[in-house]
Amino acid sequence: MKKIIHLLFISSLILLTVSCGGKNGKNETKGTESADRAAAEAVETAEVVVTEWNIPFLNCLTGPIAGIGEYLQWGAEYAAEQINAEGGIAGKPVRIERIDTGMSPEKGTVAMSKLVEDALVVMGPVPEPVIMAAVPIAAEEGLYCFTATTSYEYAAEYFPWAISFFPPTEEKLQIAVKAWAEKAGAGKAVQFVENYGAWPGMAKAHALGLEAAGAQVLENVEVPTDAVTFGPLAVKALARNPDTIIFACNAEKVAKIIIELKNRGWKDMNKILIFSSADDAALYTTGGESLNGAIIYNFSNSNLDTPRWNEFSRAFKEDHEGMEPFSLSPNYYDAVYMIKRAIEETGVTGDPNKLAEEREKIMKYCNDIEKFDGLQFTWTNRGGFPADKPLFLFEIQNGKKILVDKIIPE
Amino acid sequence: MTLTLFYYLAITAIYILMSWSVYLPYRIGQLHFMTVANMAISAYFSALMTIHFSWPFPLVLLAGTLLGALTGFAVSTAVGDAPCFAVVIVGFTFIYLTKTVIENVEIFGGPLGIFNIPKIINSSSGNRILLIIIVYFFVFLTGFFINRFDRSKLGRAASTIFVDRNIAVSFGVNPKKIGMFLQTWSSAIGGMSGVLYAFIMRGISPNHFTFNFIGICMTILFVGGYSTMWGTLLAAPILWGFPLILPESLQAWNIVIYGILLVIILLLKPEGIITRVMVQRVENIRLFSGKKVTPKSPSNKKAAQ
């Protein structure tokens, strides 16, 4: 009997620990005349040898950020569906191969070690710990990675074999925060920072922007990753008597801290700035009306009114119980279209014998792609990142974002 | 050697070592999960020493193993003879503490981790081959000593403690001393595995050292068979390699499949696939095969039992 109880205890313990584990738009871009000529020649001479283009996507479909992984995957598969409906890539259908790393760097490494053998190009990995573990393998073996949701700094480490869809954090955010701080009349600021991924770096860029606007950062209040109560953090911030507050932490935590701040008398909501990574469903569902008046910045504009965006938005809502597309939703949609354009414009054939050469063609083309017709705007890459992607400032009102400013880099 | 084969072999070896580090204290009925914390501590220690102080690999490996052993010994003085539940709680607490410290101290790279750990030798393929040789040398060495332990008086004493602690004490066995010895040894294996893991992956992150990791090690141990060291050798390559061959549509279900497999094994074969009786039979066949003794003779039956 004792033995059976012991075994039952062990089996339940193992199960417990194991379960804790979790448009349409033709690419009518025009580069320089010579590039066009070269591309046209390449397309004329190249003959596609694959029957289907397989694009592996190293994503997180289980584990702590499975929710984000799902809508990244949705964006990529929606793009593939549209491309196939229009005749595919160079006349052949495209398929997005789902590879789930479960946010495990170990799984990401092993998956990447398989992909370097025969993949033409890779989308992902997601997120940063998996990128840091798996992309060095791809870079060493000459396999190009679309790390489309990570900050420039992480991709830059493996340039030219990794691309980011974001410009250098410090430069871009500094300009945006400066513009907002001047408008809001920021004087003394406190910043809530969570030590996760690129967030401390983004907080540093916020501070530089504030300084450039003549404001001062009184303190960075550290938000612990496993924090469950936020009252003490709000008290700590308010004790410094700031007139401005900036957030660089998880969406749900932002909402909870704002509620605590308001409970303790904070009124000037226009002097609260929320960073782009918190522009997530959890922010609005947790914060509700308490967020009214707060400012949030982002690289995507959900208020856009173009046929392509409206169609994407409608399809997203249809598949996600009416929810608006999240800020990162277009990234892998755009990645699939960028790969399509690279394959078609450089005359990639998918021939296994030319694998190394064709990988390099795609890499070179995408790192400096001209006037790429993205889902939200047209941009040009310089050295593996977008050089002219705009940044938007919104005011939150009843769960909606109202555009207040658009910042385009010079 | 292809990259895939390298990672498959190398990570299999790590799971073998880590499952053995859980197996050892379980010989006296303790589930000593602190070994995962030891793995994390030594992995981070080795990464820092190599990157910032250019320590050579052999020195880092030795120091990481000793660090694991010392930490394990210090804790074992308090929980050497504690009941299974208490040891489980101590293990979970240590993992949680270690992860929290790692995630919040800048030098450890925070939640992201430490990457770009240098290779042991410059050539990429040479480095891989060397690592496989080193890792399997330590698997062999550890397995050799565990096998010796299992056959020794000390091993039999540990078995007695597992069956009934009071009887063991009445025979003059000191459960605390044996517990301390096994926990220290287990932690040393954890430390050594951490260093090897850091050099295999050339990067570490707190995400490596989660409760999932314990789950996989325990599944390997209990599916393979917890009463001998041999079950681990059978289960680790299969269970670790299993998700690699799963079709794309089933990949998200691999954790559920692990759970179901475990429940089935525990219901149908509670001692796991390879049991001590099975090992004994194989040994008897080997022993008597050269002596022309009929297997049905009473003396043989007795020996087999």
- Distance, in Å, from the CA atom of B47 to the CA atom of B172, rounded to the nearest integer, reads 44
- Each residue's pLDDT tens digit, B235-247: 999 888 777 777 7
CA distance A308 to chain B (A): 30
Quote the pLDDT of residue A30.
Answer: 40
Quote the pLDDT of residue A2.
Answer: 56
**DSSP letters for B47-68:** HHHHHHH---HHHHHHHHHHHH
More confident residue, B255 or B296: B255
Is A13–B31 a contact, with Cβ atoms under 8 angstroms apart? yes
CA-nearest of A68, A124, A154, A81 to A326 is: A68
Quote the pLDDT of residue B141.
Answer: 97
- The pTM score is 0.80
More confident residue, A401 or B304: A401
Please compute the mean of the pLDDT values over residues A139-158 and round it to a whole number.
90
Is B111–A197 a contact, with Cβ atoms under 8 angstroms apart? yes
Quote the pLDDT of residue A365.
Answer: 96
What residues have CB less than 8 Å from B207, skipping those under 6 apart? Answer: A103, A104, A105, A129, B113
**What distance, in Å, lies between the first and last C-alpha atoms of chain B?**
44
Is A22–B266 a contact, with Cβ atoms under 8 angstroms apart? no
Q: How far is CA A317 from CA A71, A311, A321, B116, in A?
A: 11, 10, 6, 41
Please compute the mean of the pLDDT values over residues A332-357 and round it to a whole number.
95
Res A248 pLDDT > 90: yes
- Each residue's pLDDT tens digit, B2-35: 888 899 999 999 999 999 999 999 999 999 999 9
Judge contact between B38 and B194, C-beta under 8 A: yes
Res B78 pLDDT > 90: yes
Quote the pLDDT of residue B299.
Answer: 46
Could you report the predicted ipTM of this complex, rounded to two decimals? 0.78
Lowest mean pLDDT among A168-172, A188-192, A388-392: A168-172
Judge contact between A340 and A27, C-beta under 8 A: yes
Quote the pLDDT of residue B290.
Answer: 61
Quote the pLDDT of residue B239.
Answer: 86
Name every chain A residue with its beta carbon within 8 A of the beta carbon of B115. 132-133, 136
- Distance, in Å, from the CA atom of B151 to the CA atom of B284, rounded to the nearest integer, reads 14
Place of tokens 């998880």: A250
Is B252–A99 a contact, with Cβ atoms under 8 angstroms apart? no
Quote the pLDDT of residue A196.
Answer: 77
**Could you tell me which chain B residue has the CA closest to the CA of A141?**
B3
- Each residue's pLDDT tens digit, A284-343: 989 999 999 999 998 888 888 999 999 999 999 999 888 888 888 899 999 999 999 999
> pLDDT category, A12, cuts 50, 70, 90?
low
More confident residue, A189 or A195: A189
- Distance, in Å, from the CA atom of B11 to the CA atom of A26, rounded to the nearest integer, reads 45
